[in-house]
Amino acid sequence: MNFAMIGLGRMGGNMVRRLARAGFRLAVHDRSAEARGALARECDVLDCDSVGSLVAGTSPPRVVWLMLPAGAASQEVIDQLLGLLQAGDVIVDGANALYKDSMARAEQAGERGIGYVDAGVSGGVWGLESGYGLMVGGGGEHVRRVEPYLRALAPAPERGWIHCGPVGSGHYAKMIHNGIEYGMMQAYAEGLALLDAKSEFALDVAAIAESWRHGSVIRSWLLDLTAGFLAEDAALEDIAPVVADSGEGRWTAVESIALGVPAPVIGLSLMQRFASQGRGDYANRLLARMRQAFGGHAVTAAGDRSKDPG
């Protein structure tokens, strides 16, 4: 056994399941004993209670794939692995990491003769059945070592995964992928909101979204998902209008500035997420007071949004 997975959350756990279904033998580790135990009972995997026992339970040359949160959590485990792995082993970082961090970690690993592959992973909770979109960066010899697992995880052995280029390129491609995702989501949300707002037509927003799935230029898997949940609950009254943002959207916006390449849709979709989190509230209060100061316009008291001050 020379393959291991660290991080058994929604993505990592299902990736283990897909690999096990394909006949691979794996060692697994997660801080949660419950997550490890449940997976060990379901699949034929070696349950390891520490990073050290995981390395000891596998044979070189190893491939150790990490599906951990980007940042400190990933760095902590990578530091442990660099002190335990042997020359010729390969680390695969499947987090949504900043590509510059991946390049630095690869250099650190290379000093010990350890390979490093950065893997952008897309597919979410649907990846177990449908396969994962995989964008990897790294040296050719290291990616070739990982290729059998990529072929099993992807939607099909010959499609859905790509060796993008050198270390960092996989996470760079995934960063841009997620920036595009921001823009697509925002466009769908704005268009459907305009349909919902046209009260005099009494439009069935769920039915229109469903119709767009068939033959329309804007059909997509994202639209499939949206039409599905709208069919169950088109009003969405129990959902707070707060949209989280993750690092990839911010990094994509910063990269567009650094390269001087205009990306207004992605940038504005990120700004809209900030606004949904209340980060524009102070500026809006200032605007209200400015209008009052120069024109005597009324302002709305905090907590009262029932009146339009005009």
Active site residues: 174, 181
Cβ neighbours around 175 below 10 Å, total? 23
Q: How far is residue 201 from each of residues 76, 196, 198, measured CA to CA in Å?
A: 56, 9, 6
Residue 281, CA atoms < 13 Å, CB-side half-sphere: 6
Q: Are 84 and 58 in contact (CB under 8 A)?
A: no
C-alpha distances out from residue 68 to 8, 38, 61, 198, Å: 8, 18, 22, 44
Shortest CA distance to 181 belongs to which of 254, 99, 265, 276? Answer: 265
Alpha carbon distance 7, 194 (integer Å): 41
Backbone dihedral angles phi then psi of residue 270, each to the nearest 5 degrees: -65, -45
Q: Which two tokens stand for residue 17?
A: 């399941």
H or E stretch covering 137: strand 133-137
Sign of the alpha-carbon dihedral angle for 92, 71, 175, 99: negative
* H-only helix segments in 23-111: 33-42, 51-56, 72-82, 99-110
ω before 61 within 30° of 0 (cis)? yes
> Which positions ≥6 away from 48 have C-beta within 8 Å?
4, 27, 28, 29, 36, 54, 57
In the numeric block, which tokens belong to residue 183?
Answer: 């823009």
Cα atoms in the 13 Å half-sphere on the side-chain side of 151: 11
Q: Which stretch of DSSP H or E encloses residue 176?
A: helix 169-197
